[in-house]
Amino acid sequence: MRVDWWTLALQTVNVLILIWILGRFFFRPVAEIVARRQEEANKVLSDANAAREEAADAREDAGRMRADIAAERGRLIVEARKSAEVEKERLVAVAAEEIAKLRREGEAAITRDRATAEQAIIARAGELAVDIATRLLGRLPPGLGLVAFLDGLNRELRALPWEAKQGFMSATADHPIEVVTAVPPSKSEIEGVRHALQEALDSEPPIAFRSDPAVIAGIELHGRTAIVRNSWRADLDRIREELDVGRQRRRS
């Protein structure tokens, strides 16, 4: 086999020229393109890594936020429970105070109603007593009513302190002893009263008679400084006072 060295040389030169052309006009642009593509890929990978890191940070932040939210929620629940307990205690205290106030008002109302009822009963009892006394007085013989009270009147006059008795003994015509009876006395009753006063006071003071149906029965002496009563009105007044005292003691 014979080798044509000139042909081989020309072909070699052609190959070298082709390689140079390819290297200059193809491989270099391609390499630059590949380099740019690689750089872009690296940038994309870098951005992706950064995004993953940001995502990881975001997940961590989200986890911390969830933990903070859970902690805040727990704190708010605890505070709400405490506030609810405080409000409950306040409402219970207010309700207890209202109940106590209503109880006190109810007891006061019951006490007032009881006192009013007792006063009404006492007043009614006094009216009945007056009515009974008036009916009993109507059954007595005429003239017996006043005479029956003179002895008691004398006893009360004699039992008076000296100063009070002096008030009756110092009566004058301008300021006589006022004798009060339920009905105008008869002449014999007037004489009986004068005689009784003379015995009790050891003097004969001036007297003036006045009638008052409220006396019911009996006699009352009104002097300057004292009043002596021996009448059914006086007895009824004493009974009312005793009932009032008993009622006040029961209330206390």
Identify the CA nearest to 132 among candidates 212, 210, 217, 247: 217
Q: What is the pLDDT of residue 233?
A: 79
Is 172 found in the same domain as 132?
A: no
End position of a domain, from candidates 77, 109, 139? 139
Mutual orientation of helices 162-169 and 187-201 as an angle, nearest 10°?
130
Is 239 found in the same domain as 158?
A: yes
Q: What is the pLDDT of residue 139?
A: 53
Give the residue numbers spanning the domain of 111: 64-139
The Cα–Cα gap between 70 and 64 comes to 10
Q: What is the pLDDT of residue 44?
A: 73
Instruction: Provide the domain count of the chain.
Output: 2
Residue 225 scores a pLDDT above 60: yes
How large is the average pLDDT for residues 98-113?
83
How large is the average pLDDT for residues 105-114?
80
Q: What is the pLDDT of residue 154?
A: 79
Average pLDDT, the chain: 76
Q: What is the pLDDT of residue 189?
A: 83
Contact 227, 194 (CB under 8 A): no
Q: Kindly report, residue by residue over 151-205, the tens digit of the pLDDT.
A: 777 788 888 888 878 878 888 888 888 989 888 888 888 888 888 888 888 888 8
Is 147 found in the same domain as 245?
A: yes
Q: Kindly report, residue by residue over 7-64, the tens digit of the pLDDT.
A: 767 777 776 776 666 666 666 666 677 677 777 777 777 777 777 888 778 788 878 8
Q: What is the pLDDT of residue 3?
A: 54
Is 225 found in the same domain as 151?
A: yes
Is 204 found in the same domain as 162?
A: yes
- Provide the terminal-to-terminal Cα distance of the chain, rounded to the nearest Å: 156
pLDDT-derived band of residue 65, with 50, 70 and 90 as boundaries? confident
Is 156 found in the same domain as 134?
A: no
Integer CA distances (angstroms), 172 to 165, 175, 204, in order:
14, 5, 10
Residue type at 41?
A
Is 172 found in the same domain as 242?
A: yes
Q: Has residue 11 been placed in a domain?
A: no
Q: What is the pLDDT of residue 67?
A: 82
Q: What is the pTM of this model?
A: 0.45
Residue type at 60?
E
The Cα–Cα gap between 172 and 207 comes to 9
